[in-house]
Chain A
Amino acid sequence: MKRLPQLREYHSPVWSEPIIMEMGRKGERGILVPEAEEEIRASVGKGKAYIPEKMRRKQSPGLPEISQPQILRHYLHLSQMCLGMETNIDAEGTATMKYSPKINEALARSPKMTEIHPCQDEDTVQGILEIIHKLDLFLREISGMDQFTFQPPGGSMATFANACILRAYHAARGEGAQRDEVITTIFSHPCIAATAATAGFKVITLMPDPTGYPDFEALNAALSPRTAGLMITNPEDTGIYNPRIREFTRAVHEAGGLCFYDQANANGILGITRAREAGFDACHFNLHKTFSAPHGSFGPGCAAYGVLKELAKYLPKPVVTYDGKKYHLDYDRPESIGKLREFHGNIPAVLRAYSWIMGMGAEGLLEVARTSVINNNYLTKLLEEIPGTVRYYAPGEYRLEQTRWSWEKLTKDTGVGTLDIQRRMVDYGLQSFFMSHHPWIVPEPFTPEFCESYSVDDMDYWAAVLKQISDEAYSNPELVKSSPHRAPIHLVKYEGLDDPSKWAMTWRAYIKKRVK
């Protein structure tokens, strides 16, 4: 192999920005508002006169008064103290931090996208309806499902949609009250358990077998006439694909339940294997992960939720239909679960995903999958050599697009834990890795995912940084534990966050508590 990459002499900008509430001087303005024309003013008088006395604001809101260049500079500084995917090597697992092509961003910013209202006449939005419908068709092919909706604004809302459909499906069959249990696994996303509970289900969470695979015996033991459905990920967050998945879905169907596939981890299996063949009745993809829409500092995301024909009548409304000439919004769906949110979904993400697929094609999607799996297994070779790492579960087996690792050994040896390493990475200009969802079944976990956007050099560099931090842990653990040292800020004192006398979710709360 090539020479070891040289570590960069990174240092984050440290702007020590004030909170916006501390900025500006009385009388400054950030922007002016258009005034009502003379004729309007002459005709209607003061606007305030129309506000009922009791509804008038007595005290002007305590917002800061700041001029435009200073506001711009402040937020530019804040952006410089934020590691976006595009400015570093961002391998956060379960998140598929792939490149969001700039051309798609430019398209999504076109007024033809941004300046349309969700209640416009169908004739005036044929373009966007066509894109929504065609992405639906693409995803049908990719998953084997029969119809998709894009209404869920994130993956959690898609699993919630599924829980609502489970409820509606069993209620329609007269088994609504009886089938009140949802089964999931501990390595599926926690939102599955939470959304099922929100919809009123009791949740049974299966623990893995000793080798880390979903436990088929445990599933069989959990199934009963109360089973409404199974809601799981595959590959799970460990990167391990459940080879008995068809047996799982068959057993659930035999017990009268439905099977939902959370495909947040789909990047390694596009064009390789599909939800339909594995026996699922419904699935969802995150367009902001697998299909390249940007993550936007935690949203807006967009989940594509798809179902088999038998369940299509339950999809949230409206759905986009095509009659061969024109696209329509179909609201007339009496058995629909209703609305998950207002309007049609985060449609700019739909546009980006459509454009991304049209740039890739079938062959491209397959290469996305293959490359992400090759990348992950290549990284495995690099990480195995770093002192203190343990690849958890399924020894000798390949992983798909991500791998659950542990620093258990390093922690035992040095006292440095995964949280310390996560912080220290920022000193080398890297996004902190994703550790694990809770609970930490794997001790001191971390879960890298190098999707297709990353090069060999990127991975070599990333591994070299972890090697460096491991070396530091063995030679000078305090350096890692007291990190970060070259980040925008120093170690946060977390104690105050949970203390009602100290926490401050707004500046006004902070001021009150500080004065005390």
Chain B
Amino acid sequence: MDRGKPFFHPYIPNTVPEIRAEMLERIGVTDVEELYQAIPKDLRFKGKLKLPKPYPSEYELKRHVLSILSKNKTCEENLNFLGGGCWQHYVPAVCDEIIGRSEFLTAYGGTAYSTFGRMQAQFEFQSLMGELVGMDVVSMPGYSWGSAAANAVRMASRMTGRREILMPKTVSPERLATIRTFCKSTCEETGIAIQLVGFNKETGLLDLKDLEKKISSKTAAVYFENPSYLGFMESQGSKISQIAHRAGAESIVGVDPISLGVLAPPSDYGADIVVGTAQPLGIHMNYGGGTLGFIASRDEEKYVVEYPSWLISLAETVKEGEYGFGFSRFERTSYIGRDKAKDFLGTVAGLWTIAAAVYMALMGPRGFQEIGEVILQKSHYAINSLSKCKGLKVLYRSNAFKEFVVNFDGTGKKVNAINRGLLKYGIFGGKDISKDFPELGNSALYCVTEVHRREDIDKLAQALKEVISK
């Protein structure tokens, strides 16, 4: 912008000089500087911020941003087999339509009256998710699956007065890292210790003997995931919960809810607290920005009072038969409790919550059954195809849901070299887990969902054969 020229911006109505003069006059000052008199002179920023020359016209701005964004290569333009906590599922157009609505997109907190619609939609998320996980209390989701799991283990710790958590070594490294951050404290006595439990090298399932050995009267909770990070279904859920309960510990299960049309809800195998993400339910990957994480439990006061989350409750109004909404036991939260609160709360993931509600409504019971079925069929077709490639071995293949571990030890090639080779075919190969799970050798975590067609999987198998043989 030229120096000396008055500054106008279409986003700022009151930059018009006449309006500004009128406002300053009403305030009773001649210059805006007078309003800043509280800020000491030596703290005032001298000069002009060194920022790039802006693009004041919307057209130029769009050209500029698109010129950078266009350097991204997307999962739509390529064939993607990455999952591991952020998954490529189909997002129905209705989900995008609803969360694109100004009213939802640009509302914030408001009240039960001013943002009534968002509260009902978010209550509906809680209700729909309650049916999938088989629990009567579901929170409005927080930040991510990992942070929800972290909140849940802290809930268990407060409830039991114990400070140790057990979880399988197969837990997602990203989620484990998040849980660790929340379990540390300024000193050992107030922190929560995390102990990892071994797993069966053949099946991936939790080593029950190791669990029995490690569990004690100090254990606050056992946390495990279903399907697990490595893709297999943990079929010993009832036994794990029994072992936890016998020791007076809580059983916490993390789930990917896209599986729950065909997989048993955690409430069937003894879970006390369920956590999970809803990203697969109508939310784009957004470079990992589509995360959110809910907490669910039985409808018992001892659980409810430990939630750090927003809990939207259906309520009556003064008009007979009318639905209203409000927050239950809000004094739990950091908005009231400050340093005495249950963990902390803030701006969470309201828009994604609404998208997931729409998704669950669209899918219905049959949609969830069908998507579970088709994911199983396609992933097992991929498992069979890849198993036939020379040098490849698929681990935990018999009970995989949508992800599975492919071991490349027999190829003499590293995963990153394989993946670089696949890129030339326009394929994003599975996530390299060799460093996170050295005991699994040179391995990658592959993800197959309903978005993959048979020819995509065949193309992957063919490309792998060629890359390996090079």
Known contacts being A153-B291, A299-B349, is A60 close to B9, with CB within 8 Å? no
State A68–B265 Cα separation when bound (angstroms). 26
Which of B35, B84, B451 is close to A373, meaning CB atoms less than 8 Å apart?
B35
B interface, size bucket: 35 or more
B374 close to A505 (CB less than 8 A): no
B72 close to A127 (CB less than 8 A): yes
A83 close to B115 (CB less than 8 A): yes
Which of B23, B62, B368 is close to A61, meaning CB atoms less than 8 Å apart?
B368
> Hey, which chain A residues are within 8 Å of B68, CB to CB?
127, 130-131
> Hey, which chain B residues are within 8 Å of A82, CB to CB?
103-104, 107, 110, 114-118
State A16–B165 Cα separation when bound (angstroms). 46
Which of A83, A245, A358 is close to B43, meaning CB atoms less than 8 Å apart?
A245
Known contacts being A44-B380, A381-B27, is A374 close to B35, with CB within 8 Å? yes
Interface string of A447-464 (1 = CB under 8 A from B): 000001111100000000
Give residues 167-209 of B contacting A (CB, 8 Å): 172, 174-175, 177-178, 180-182, 184-187, 190-191
State A159–B272 Cα separation when bound (angstroms). 30
Stretch at the interface among A304-312, A469-477, A492-500: A492-500
- Which residue of A118, A195, A344, A378 has the most chain B CB atoms within 10 A of its CB atom? A118
Interface check B431, CB cutoff 8 A: yes
Nearest CB of B to A39, in Å: 6
Give residues 129-181 of B contacting A (CB, 8 Å): 129-132, 135-140, 143-147, 154, 172, 174-175, 177-178, 180-181
> Hey, which chain B residues are within 8 Å of A361, CB to CB?
1, 51-54, 56
State A346–B38 Cα separation when bound (angstroms). 35
Interface check A52, CB cutoff 8 A: yes
Interface string of A489-516 (1 = CB under 8 A from B): 1111110111010011111111010000
B372 close to A31 (CB less than 8 A): no
State A482–B431 Cα separation when bound (angstroms). 58
> Hey, which chain A residues are within 8 Å of B372, CB to CB?
47
Give residues 296-349 of B contacting A (CB, 8 Å): 299-301, 304, 310-319, 322-329, 334-341, 343-349
Known contacts being A79-B98, A374-B35, is A490 close to B317, with CB within 8 Å? yes
B291 close to A298 (CB less than 8 A): no
Q: Which residue of chain B has the shortest Cβ distance to A496 in the bound complex?
A: B315
Q: Which residue of chain B has the shortest Cβ distance to A189 in the bound complex?
A: B346
Which of B82, B172, B178, B328 is close to A117, meaning CB atoms less than 8 Å apart?
B82
B191 close to A200 (CB less than 8 A): yes
Give residues 230-249 of B contacting A (CB, 8 Å): 233-235, 237-238
Interface check A211, CB cutoff 8 A: no
Interface check B391, CB cutoff 8 A: no
Q: Which residue of chain A has the shortest Cβ distance to B135 in the bound complex?
A: A506
Stretch at the interface among A214-222, A251-259, A289-297, A402-410: A289-297
19 further A-B contacts with Cβ under 8 Å, apart from A86-B105, A295-B108, are A30-B364, A34-B451, A41-B377, A47-B374, A51-B233, A65-B364, A101-B58, A118-B86, A157-B147, A198-B182, A203-B338, A277-B42, A296-B352, A297-B350, A342-B291, A374-B24, A431-B114, A453-B12, A492-B317
Nearest CB of A to B8, in Å: 9
Known contacts being A85-B108, A337-B181, is A127 close to B69, with CB within 8 Å? yes
A39 close to B454 (CB less than 8 A): yes
> Hey, which chain A residues are within 8 Å of B451, CB to CB?
34
Interface check A97, CB cutoff 8 A: yes
- Which residue of A40, A75, A493, A500 has the most chain B CB atoms within 10 A of its CB atom? A75
A273 close to B44 (CB less than 8 A): yes
Interface check B124, CB cutoff 8 A: yes
- Which residue of A33, A109, A454 has the most chain B CB atoms within 10 A of its CB atom? A33
State A201–B84 Cα separation when bound (angstroms). 33
Interface check B102, CB cutoff 8 A: yes
Known contacts being A78-B120, A124-B428, A365-B49, is A398 close to B37, with CB within 8 Å? yes
> Hey, which chain A residues are within 8 Å of B181, CB to CB?
164, 316, 337-340
Known contacts being A62-B131, A503-B328, A505-B313, is A112 close to B69, with CB within 8 Å? yes
Interface check A197, CB cutoff 8 A: yes
Known contacts being A193-B334, A342-B291, A373-B36, is A79 close to B104, with CB within 8 Å? yes
Sampled A-B contacts (19; CB under 8 Å) = A19-B124, A57-B262, A86-B105, A103-B58, A112-B74, A120-B80, A138-B51, A203-B338, A297-B104, A297-B105, A297-B121, A299-B349, A302-B289, A341-B143, A357-B51, A373-B35, A489-B317, A490-B318, A503-B304
Interface check B362, CB cutoff 8 A: yes
State A438–B235 Cα separation when bound (angstroms). 46
> Hey, which chain A residues are within 8 Å of B66, CB to CB?
107, 110, 112
Interface check B376, CB cutoff 8 A: yes
State A42–B362 Cα separation when bound (angstroms). 29
B233 close to A55 (CB less than 8 A): yes
A198 close to B23 (CB less than 8 A): no
Interface check A160, CB cutoff 8 A: yes
Interface check B106, CB cutoff 8 A: yes
Give residues 17-33 of A contacting B (CB, 8 Å): 17, 19-21, 24, 28-33
State A90–B106 Cα separation when bound (angstroms). 10
Interface string of B63-79 (1 = CB under 8 A from A): 01110111111111010
> Hey, which chain A residues are within 8 Å of B185, CB to CB?
167, 199-200
Nearest CB of B to A510, in Å: 5
Interface check A111, CB cutoff 8 A: yes
A199 close to B184 (CB less than 8 A): yes
Interface check A5, CB cutoff 8 A: no
Give the number of chain A interface residues (Cβ < 8 Å). 222
Interface check B413, CB cutoff 8 A: no
Q: Which residue of chain B has the shortest Cβ distance to A15 in the bound complex?
A: B117
Interface check A177, CB cutoff 8 A: yes
B186 close to A201 (CB less than 8 A): yes
Stretch at the interface among B211-219, B279-287, B459-467: B279-287
B50 close to A362 (CB less than 8 A): yes
Known contacts being A44-B381, A240-B38, is A16 close to B114, with CB within 8 Å? no
Q: Which residue of chain B has the shortest Cβ distance to A200 in the bound complex?
A: B185
B22 close to A456 (CB less than 8 A): yes
Interface check A126, CB cutoff 8 A: yes
Known contacts being A57-B261, A298-B118, A360-B54, is A76 close to B362, with CB within 8 Å? no
Interface check A377, CB cutoff 8 A: yes
Give residues 86-128 of A contacting B (CB, 8 Å): 86-87, 90, 92, 95, 97-101, 103, 105-107, 109-121, 123-128
A438 close to B365 (CB less than 8 A): no
- Which residue of A51, A205, A337, A496 has the most chain B CB atoms within 10 A of its CB atom? A51
A57 close to B350 (CB less than 8 A): no
B39 close to A273 (CB less than 8 A): yes
State A141–B45 Cα separation when bound (angstroms). 11
Known contacts being A34-B450, A360-B9, A488-B117, is A243 close to B39, with CB within 8 Å? yes
> Hey, which chain A residues are within 8 Å of B20, CB to CB?
371, 374
Q: Which residue of chain B has the shortest Cβ distance to A97 in the bound complex?
A: B108
Q: Which residue of chain B has the shortest Cβ distance to A301 in the bound complex?
A: B347
Give residues 240-298 of A contacting B (CB, 8 Å): 240-241, 243, 245-246, 269, 271-274, 277-278, 286, 288, 294-298
Interface check A58, CB cutoff 8 A: yes
Interface check A208, CB cutoff 8 A: no
Interface check B439, CB cutoff 8 A: no
A100 close to B269 (CB less than 8 A): no
Nearest CB of A to B458, in Å: 9
B347 close to A494 (CB less than 8 A): no
- Which residue of B40, B106, B190, B301 has the most chain A CB atoms within 10 A of its CB atom? B106
Known contacts being A277-B45, A345-B289, A505-B126, is A117 close to B9, with CB within 8 Å? no
Q: Which residue of chain B has the shortest Cβ distance to A179 in the bound complex?
A: B186
> Hey, which chain A residues are within 8 Å of B299, CB to CB?
500, 505, 509
Interface check B434, CB cutoff 8 A: no
- Which residue of A117, A126, A300, A362 has the most chain B CB atoms within 10 A of its CB atom? A117
Interface check A54, CB cutoff 8 A: yes
Q: Which residue of chain A has the shortest Cβ distance to B33 in the bound complex?
A: A370
Which of A31, A157, A359, A423 is close to B55, meaning CB atoms less than 8 Å apart?
A359
Q: Which residue of chain A has the shortest Cβ distance to B327 in the bound complex?
A: A497
